[in-house]
Amino acid sequence: MADQPAAIIPAATVVVMRDRPNGAPELLMLERSAAMSFAGGALVFPGGRVDPGDRALAEVGGADDPEDAAARIAAVREAIEEAGIALALDPMPDAAALVKVRAALHEGMPFGEALDRAGSGLALDRLVPFARWLPLGLPHRIFDTRFYLARAPEGATPSVDATENSRLFWATARDVLDEADAGRATIIFPTRRNLERLALFGSFDDAVADARAHPVRTITPHVEMRDGAEHLCIPDDLGYPVTAERLTRVRRT
């Protein structure tokens, strides 16, 4: 019997950015626990799969695009669960309330109920669509991931969850790329391409302007033969400065 194609899993990722008085903005990065089956040990942005509860909450809100709304909700929820940082909430919970929301989520409480208890609600328009990636041809899990931009709240003090992730830090996109190029960090193909694009921006507002100038079109990398070698490639009209990498150098999962 032929192998069945892997199921496509809706997911969401949020690029949390904080401006600096001088220099490029910093991004919130997580290091995946080495034991994780997907991207173990790699540096990633906060995010994860869209849960049924995210879809249910999107339907309650009556969103025009329920799939996008569910992904935005997942991005907000995952940022709290993984990094203890509140995004796109109104009013923003104080530190003590955020700790309670995070603990409730880890205990399995529905996100909507946890927000109600904290006296907070969703403000999903604060997330800016940036990209959508759907890598195919992988041996197991295939994620259809929507990327969003979010400004870091003033005074935010994120903390790692120490389960799926082992480390959390702020760094510029260029610094993360340099660490990977020096062999001191690992990043998978979509993360690298997005970091290269993010390294072009001098501020969060610059990133937002670029995101709005380019349509969010689903990116499915494909293999092409170039200069006698196979390269993994993406479209060249979506704002990415690097659109191909030799396949032998790529880490995809």
In this structure, what CATH number is given to the domain that contains residue 25?
A: 3.90.79.10
pLDDT recorded at residue 1: 42
Which ranges constitute the DSSP H helices of 107-239?
A: 111-118, 173-181, 189-198, 204-213
The 3-state secondary structure of 41-97 reads CCEECCEEECCHHHHHHHHHCCCCCHHHHHHHHHHHHHHHHHHCCCCCEECCCCHHH
Q: What is the pLDDT of residue 137?
A: 76
Q: Is residue 230 part of a domain?
A: no
Instruction: Specify the number of domains making up the chain.
Output: 1
What pLDDT was estimated at residue 139? 63
The reported pLDDT for the residue numbered 101 is: 97
Instruction: Assess if residue 239 is contained within a domain.
Output: no
Q: 11, 9, 8, 7: which is closest to 147 by C-alpha?
A: 11
The pLDDT, as a whole number, for residue 64 is 84
Q: Are β-strands 26-32 and 142-151 bridged in parallel, bridged antiparallel, or unpaired?
A: unpaired
Residue 37 has a pLDDT of 61
On whether residue 240 sits in a domain, the answer given is no
Is the overall model pTM greater than 0.75, yes or no? yes
Domain presence at residue 220: no
Query: Is residue 15 domain-resident?
Result: yes
Q: Is residue 231 domain-resident?
A: no
Helix (H, G, I), strand (E, B) or coil at 18: strand
Query: Average pLDDT for consecutive 10-residue bins of the chain (253 residues)?
Result: 70 97 95 70 94 93 87 98 96 95 95 96 97 84 94 92 86 98 95 98 98 96 94 96 94 78
Give the whole-angstrom CA distance, residue 102 versus residue 34: 23
Return the SS3 of 188. Answer: coil
Identify the domain containing residue 196 by its residue range: 8-214
pLDDT confidence of residue 7: 84
Query: In this structure, is residue 198 part of a structural domain?
Result: yes
Structure-token match 């929507």, residue found: 146
**Would you state the structure tokens that stand for residue 139, as one six-digit string?**
């041996």
pLDDT score of 5: 59
